[in-house]
Amino acid sequence: MWTENNSRICSRAPNRAGRTQPGGCYHYGDTPTPFPRKTPRPQPESSTANADVTFVRAVKAADGSWTFHVTVSHPDTGWDDYADGWNILLPDSSKFLVHESDVFTRLLTHPHVDEQPFTRSQSGIIIPEDVTSVTVRAHDIVDGFGGQEIIIDLTKDSGFNYETERYKEK
């Protein structure tokens, strides 16, 4: 995994050749392409932004990776106005990306006109041990970011509109 501030977050995914990179870090080819440096957290792109994160379930697996199940509500009208992605942000405002070329943590590729609210998941998220909270926010193709965000305290089992679960050995 990569963050916008050019730091690597390791995952256990293979590269295009099917090999896991040394140290378990994922990137395309032999040399990672750096991201632009971290910028301050953007303000809402529009006061009418209405892609709301309404609930998040974060599940930590035995290997330390997380899966985020994110419920988004947006009045999708079709291809001209729909929620097109969601991000997981670290406290320093850098975002988790599955692949270095991704725009969002989870890309939403089509409108959900008749399925509101809807839940989509992203697995393989490696959160550094020293990070205790993340923010999840959604984006819509017309108004950008600015709807309801949810801050998740990863040290707690639940909070306002979220729950976390950790793998427990039997």
Half-sphere CA count of 157, side-chain side, radius 13 A: 1
Average pLDDT over residues 148-162: 96
Closest listed residue to residue 53, CA positions, set 128, 106, 113, 7: 106
Model pTM score: 0.71
pLDDT range class, residue 146, cuts 50, 70, 90? confident
136, 83 Cβ separation under 8 angstroms: no
pLDDT at res. 88: 96
Closest listed residue to residue 56, CA positions, set 131, 107, 121, 101: 121
pLDDT at res. 100: 86
Half-sphere CA count of 24, side-chain side, radius 13 A: 9
pLDDT at res. 98: 85
Query: What single-letter amino acid sits at 65?
Result: S
pLDDT at res. 36: 30
Question: Is residue 117 over pLDDT 90?
Answer: yes
pLDDT at res. 47: 60
Taking the C-alpha atoms of residue 5 and residue 122, their distance in angstroms, rounded to an integer, is: 21
At 84, is the secondary structure helix, strand, or coil?
Answer: strand
Question: Is residue 2 over pLDDT 80?
Answer: no
13, 28 Cβ separation under 8 angstroms: no
Q: How far is CA 37 from CA 6, 129, 145, in A?
A: 6, 22, 20
Q: Specify which of 5-14, 36-45, 90-99 reaches the highest per-range mean pLDDT.
A: 90-99
CATH class of the 49-166 domain in this structure: mainly beta
Taking the C-alpha atoms of residue 140 and residue 75, their distance in angstroms, rounded to an integer, is: 10
pLDDT in tens, 29-77: 333 333 333 333 444 455 677 899 999 999 999 999 999 999 999 988 8
